[in-house]
Copies of this chain bind each other. A is one copy, B any other.
Amino acid sequence: MSIDAPSSAQQRFIDDFAQMLTAWGMPLTCGRLYAWLLLAPGPVTLDEFAEALGISKSNASMAARDLEGIGMARRLTERGSKRIRYEATTEPGNALKRNSDILGQLAGLIRSRLDAVADGRNRARLADLATFHLALKAAMDGVIERYGSA
Name A's B-contacting residues (CB within 8 A): 7, 9-10, 12-13, 16-17, 20-25, 38-41, 88, 90, 92-93, 96, 98-99, 102, 105-106, 109-110, 113, 116-118, 122, 125-126, 128-129, 132-133, 135-136, 139-140, 142-144, 146-147
Chain multiplicity (copies): 2
Q: Given A92-B128, A96-B136 in contact, is the A9-B102 Cβ separation under 8 Å?
A: no
Tell whether, in the assembled complex, residue B102 and residue A23 are in contact, meaning their CB atoms are under 8 Å apart.
yes
A7 CB → nearest B CB, Å: 8
Tell whether, in the assembled complex, residue B13 and residue A113 are in contact, meaning their CB atoms are under 8 Å apart.
yes
Q: Given A16-B109, A25-B24 in contact, is the A92-B132 Cβ separation under 8 Å?
A: yes
Tell whether, in the assembled complex, residue B38 and residue A129 are in contact, meaning their CB atoms are under 8 Å apart.
yes
B residues in contact with A12, CB < 8 Å: 113
Tell whether, in the assembled complex, residue B116 and residue A13 are in contact, meaning their CB atoms are under 8 Å apart.
yes
Apart from A24-B24, A92-B132, A99-B99: 15 A-B pairs, beta carbons within 8 A? A9-B116, A12-B113, A13-B109, A16-B109, A17-B109, A17-B110, A39-B122, A90-B125, A92-B133, A96-B136, A128-B147, A135-B143, A135-B147, A139-B139, A140-B140
